[in-house]
């Protein structure tokens, strides 16, 4: 069978067009793109400066947690500044593994720390549908955790999906995406 040059050219053109569409979909994902990961790296530095993460992090009293965050948790409310903008920051330290005791965590926090999940209130219009929260899930060293598709968890995480940060937190009482502020102690 003879394939004409014209067919080959068309095939190549279509392949390039397809590739282009694929790339633009990845860039338009609501989270995990270069802008999100750059921002998350700056935010981690700001968190270290504010003693919310890293070696000089302030310790609070850990408490027994709930899924999906971890067996033992710590929640801290602070402010952070990124690129000259200052916003509200909520930090949740997630300790594990399942069944770990509060006392074990207190004895060696670094050993039990599984992840640091945060919400950072960004400038108005960042994500007007979801009260402008920036979401991120860091590993203890400040790098970003990934979802099963390999997307880094930073930005408008899982916006539009039925599960994930935004979907679950949109059900928090008080219509502010925050669970702990409504806890009755």
Kindly state whether residue 52 participates in binding ligand HEC, applying the rule CB under 6 A: no
**CA 137 – CA 115 distance, rounded (Å):** 7
Write down the H helix ranges in the chain: 5-27, 34-49, 102-107, 109-112, 165-169
Pick 39 or 179: Cβ nearer ligand HEC: 179
> Within 13 Å, how many C-alpha atoms sit on residue 61's CB side?
2
Among 50, 71, 80, 165, binds ligand HEC (CB under 6 A): 165
Dist. CA 49–CA 43, nearest whole Å: 10
Q: Which is nearer to ligand HEC, 99 or 178 (CB)?
A: 178
Q: How far is the CB of 2 from ligand HEC (least distance, A)?
A: 55
Separation between Cα atoms, residue 36 and residue 122, nearest integer Å: 12
Nearer to ligand HEC, 57 or 165 (CB): 165
Confirm or reject binding of residue 170 to ligand HEC (CB under 6 A): no
3 interacts with ligand HEC by CB under 6 A: no
Residue 163 phi/psi, 5-degree rounding, is -130, 160
The binder of ligand HEC chosen from 46, 73, 80, 100 (CB under 6 A): 73
- Residue numbers 85-124 binding ligand HEC by CB under 6 A: 90, 92, 117-119
Question: Does residue 181 sit in helix, strand or coil?
Answer: helix
Pick from 30, 50, 53, 75 the residue near ligand HEC by CB under 6 A: 75
β-strand 63-64 against 72-82: which pairing, if any? antiparallel
Binding site for ligand HEC (CB under 6 A): 65-66, 68-69, 73, 75, 90, 92, 117-119, 135-137, 153, 157, 164-165, 168-169, 172, 178-180
């Amino acid at each position: 069978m003879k394939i004409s040059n014209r067919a080959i050219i068309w095939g190549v053109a279509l392949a390039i067009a397809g590739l282009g569409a694929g790339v633009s979909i990845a860039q338009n994902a609501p989270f995990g793109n270069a802008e999100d990961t750059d921002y998350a790296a700056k935010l981690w530095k700001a968190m270290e400066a504010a003693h919310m993460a890293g070696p000089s992090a302030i310790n609070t009293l850990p408490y027994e947690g709930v899924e999906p965050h971890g067996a033992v948790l710590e929640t801290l409310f602070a402010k952070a500044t990124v690129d000259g903008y200052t916003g509200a920051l909520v930090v949740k330290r997630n300790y594990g593994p399942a069944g770990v005791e509060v006392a074990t965590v207190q004895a060696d926090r670094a050993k039990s720390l599984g992840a640091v999940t945060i919400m950072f209130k960004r400038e108005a219009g960042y994500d007007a549908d979801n009260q402008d929260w920036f979401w991120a899930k860091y590993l203890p060293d400040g790098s970003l955790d990934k979802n099963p598709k390999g997307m880094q968890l930073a930005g408008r995480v899982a916006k539009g999906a039925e599960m994930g940060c935004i979907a679950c937190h949109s059900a928090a009482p008080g219509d502010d995406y925050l669970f702990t502020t409504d806890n009755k102690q």
